[in-house]
Amino acid sequence: MSRSVGARPQQRAALADRKAREFLRKADPVLGGVIDAHPAFRPRAWLDELPPLDAFGTLIFQVVGQQLSVAATRTIVSRIEERFGGRLPSAAELLASDPEVLRTAGLSARKGATLRALAERFVDGRLSDAALERMTDEEVEAALTEVSGIGPWSAHGFLLVALNRPDVFLTGDIALRRVIQRVYGFDHVPSEAELLETSDRWRPYRSLAVSYLFASEYEEPR
């Protein structure tokens, strides 16, 4: 049974799924080497450091983080929390606030407008935690990218973080392209066609494959 978007429990993230891990090891020996180097890998462990996030809260993170480092994103998110009593605002709270509140937190006018457009959809019911949970990956992407400022990268990030969907691939993520370049020995940053050819062997567990690849870049093997 799938969990509600807004009910991520505060417990330690689980180890990588054994069935998915073994599938990936057999399907791709190169990725298998990465998997073997991280036997105690917990793909969602980084979320342990964050408060529980509902769908709108996740989208705040996604929008703030567009083209920013993780450190810069967390700084701005912390400033937003300070302006809303120490937590992220609900859609209704954000919509009722002065747009200048987001500007003083460090958000651009464009990103502020995107968040307000998203908030409007949550307030009037076009978007909700329950509705997004029921949608297919393609439906979620279509619903979110209707909003100016939400592209496939943000929509795919939402699928990964908020909905924990198992087969999401971040084709537009330059950091992922560079990791794949290193791990697979490309002499150039791989093209989208090369990325898709590489990632097709990971279906239907592309999300876990991506998590392992990022772990190979940012975590010490153990």
Q: Which two tokens stand for residue 56?
A: 């709108």
| Contact indicator for 132, 163 with CB cutoff of 8 Å | yes
Model confidence at 4: pLDDT above 50: no
- pLDDT > 80? residue 11: no
Residue 192 to residues 32, 123, 157, 195, Cα–Cα distance (Å):
22, 36, 17, 5
pLDDT tens-place string over residues 185-202: 999 999 989 999 999 999
Residues in the chain: 222
Q: Which residues contact 33 (CB under 8 A, 6 or more apart)?
A: none
Mean pLDDT, the chain, integer: 90
The string of pLDDT tens digits covering residues 31-58 is 999 999 999 999 988 777 777 789 999 9
Which pLDDT score, from 0 to 100, does residue 12 have?
67
Write down the pLDDT at residue 3: 38
Pair of tokens at residue 53: 């996030």
Which 3-state string (H, E, C) describes 88-103?
CCCHHHHHHCCHHHHH
Confidence at residue 9, expressed as pLDDT on a 0 to 100 scale: 46
Predicted pLDDT at 155: 95
Alpha-helical (H) ranges within 29-145 are 29-37, 55-64, 70-83, 91-96, 99-104, 109-124, 129-134, 137-145
Mean pLDDT, rounded, for 112-132: 97
Whether residue 8 is predicted with pLDDT greater than 50 in this model: the reply is no
What is residue 64's three-state secondary structure? helix
Report residue 113's pLDDT band, with 50, 70 and 90 as the boundaries: very high
pLDDT at 105 over 70: yes
DSSP character for 51? Answer: -
How much is the pTM? Answer: 0.85
